[in-house]
Amino acid sequence: MLHVRRSFMVLCDRCSVLVFYTAACFALIHSCRGQSEVIGPLQPVVALIGDDIILPCNLDPVMDAFDMAVEWARSDLDPRFVLVWRDGVDLESKKHPSYTRRTSLFTDELKNGNISLKISKVKLSDEGTYKCFVPELNKHTTVQLVVGTWQLLRAMLTKQVSN
C-alpha cells in the first residue's frame, strides 16, 4: 500500500513538472503571438520643398491595421499630432494646424499592416522626428524627415563636382 502511494507521488511530481513546463510554454507562445513590431526606415527620409513624400511605417509580422488606432506625432509640436486614425477615420480636427489636409494614410494598404504616412507639399517646417505609434500594441518607431531646398541641393552637387 505504501509502495503504491509512493509511486503515485513520484508520478504526481513528474506530472506537476510537466504541467509547469506546459504552462510556461503556453505563456511564452501567448506573449509572442500577435505581437507585431512597428518598423520604420533605418535612414532619414530626405525631401525637397513642395514634394509629396512617404514616411514608411509597417507592422511586422503583417497585421490588419484598418481597425486599429494609429497616431503620427511630433513631440516638438503642440498639439503634437500630425495624423490620428481611429475607428476607420482620419480625424482631421486632431491635427496640428500646419498639417491640415496635408497628411493621410494609404487606406487600402492598412490591411497589409502598412501604416506609412503621406505628407503633401512638404514645407521646411516639416523637418523633424516623427513618431509612428500603435496604442493597441503599445509599440512605436521614429522616422526622421530632412527637408532640403534646391539651393542646398545645388550647393551640395557643386561641392561634389569641385571635389
Nearer to ligand NAG by Cβ, of 80 and 102: the residue is: 102
Q: How far is the CB of 77 from ligand NAG (least distance, A)?
A: 24
Could you check whether the bond before residue 97 is cis, i.e. omega within 30 degrees of 0? Answer: no
C-alpha closest to that of 99 among 113, 115, 117, 87: 117
Q: Is 103 an interacting residue with respect to ligand NAG (CB under 6 A)?
A: no
3-class SS letters over the chain: CHHHHHHHHHHHHHHHHHHHHHHHHHHHHHHHCCCCEEECCCCCEEEECCCCEEECCEEECCCCCCCCCEEEECCCCCCCEEEEEECCEECHHHCCHHHCCCEEECCCCHHHCECCEEECCCCHHHCEEEEEEECCCCEEEEEEEEEECHHHHHHHHHHHHHC
Q: Among the candidate windows 19-27, 69-77, 106-114, 142-150, which touches ligand NAG by CB under 6 A? A: 106-114
Q: Is 116 an interacting residue with respect to ligand NAG (CB under 6 A)?
A: yes
Q: Among the candidate windows 63-71, 108-116, 123-131, 148-156, which touches ligand NAG by CB under 6 A? A: 108-116
Q: Is 51 an interacting residue with respect to ligand NAG (CB under 6 A)?
A: no
- For ligand NAG (CB under 6 A), the number of binding residues is 6
Half-sphere exposure of 128 (CA within 13 A, CB side): 17
Q: Is 77 an interacting residue with respect to ligand NAG (CB under 6 A)?
A: no
Nearer to ligand NAG by Cβ, of 20 and 106: the residue is: 106
Q: How far is the CB of 26 from ligand NAG (least distance, A)?
A: 32
Q: Is 106 an interacting residue with respect to ligand NAG (CB under 6 A)?
A: yes
Q: Among the candidate windows 62-70, 85-93, 109-117, 127-135, which touches ligand NAG by CB under 6 A? A: 109-117
Q: State the residues that interact with ligand NAG by CB under 6 A.
A: 54, 58, 106, 109, 114, 116
